[in-house]
Amino acid sequence: MQSREEALKIAKTQLAGLPKGSVRVTKESYDENQNTFLSVTIFEEGKERHTRKIRADNKMEPTCNSPDDLYAIHTRRTLGRALAPWLRQNGVCTLELLHRSDLAEKLAAAGHDRQHAIQKVAIAQAGAMECSVQHIVRRLTELADAATDQLRHAKAQKRTMEFNQRGFAATLAAVKNFKAPGFALSSAIASRLSDVKSWPDKISFLAGCVSDALVEPDEENVGISVLDAFLAEITALPHALDKCVDGEELGDRLDRITDILCGKTPENASDSARLLAIAISSEKLPETQSALVARVFQELRGPRRLYPDRFEDEVMLYRSLANRLVRLPPALAPPDQLSEAFIIRSSRLLEASSVEQMLISAKNPGEEILTLIDFEQSMVGEQNKQKLATFLRAIIGAHKTDRWLSNGGAKVFERLSVCARAQKWVLAGGFSAEDKAELSASLDRLCYNAMKYNKAFEQIESRDTTPIQKAIFLLKLPDQGLITMGRCSEEANLRAMRLLRTNSARNAMADNQGELFKELSGLLQRAKTKVA
- In the prediction, which pLDDT does 532 show? 41
Task: Please state the pTM of the whole predicted model.
Answer: 0.75
Q: Closest Cα partner for 198 from 90, 91, 89, 85?
A: 91
SS3 state at 311: helix
- In the prediction, which pLDDT does 481 show? 85
- In the prediction, which pLDDT does 122 show? 80
- In the prediction, which pLDDT does 527 show? 57
Give the gyration radius of the chain's Cα atoms: 34
- In the prediction, which pLDDT does 267 show? 86
What CA–CA distance (Å, rounded) separates 95 from 97? 5
What CA–CA distance (Å, rounded) separates 283 from 281? 5
Under-50 pLDDT residues of the chain: 33-35, 52-54, 531-532
Residues 6+ apart with CB under 8 A from 168: 208, 209, 212, 213, 223
- In the prediction, which pLDDT does 45 show? 80
- In the prediction, which pLDDT does 440 show? 92
- In the prediction, which pLDDT does 253 show? 93
Q: DSSP string covering 410-468, please?
A: S-HHHHHHHHHHHHHHHHHSS--HHHHHHHHHHHHHHHHHHHHHHTHHHHHHTSSS-HH
Task: Provide the 10 A C-beta neighbour count for residue 186.
Answer: 25
- In the prediction, which pLDDT does 494 show? 87
Strand positions, DSSP E, 47-174:
none
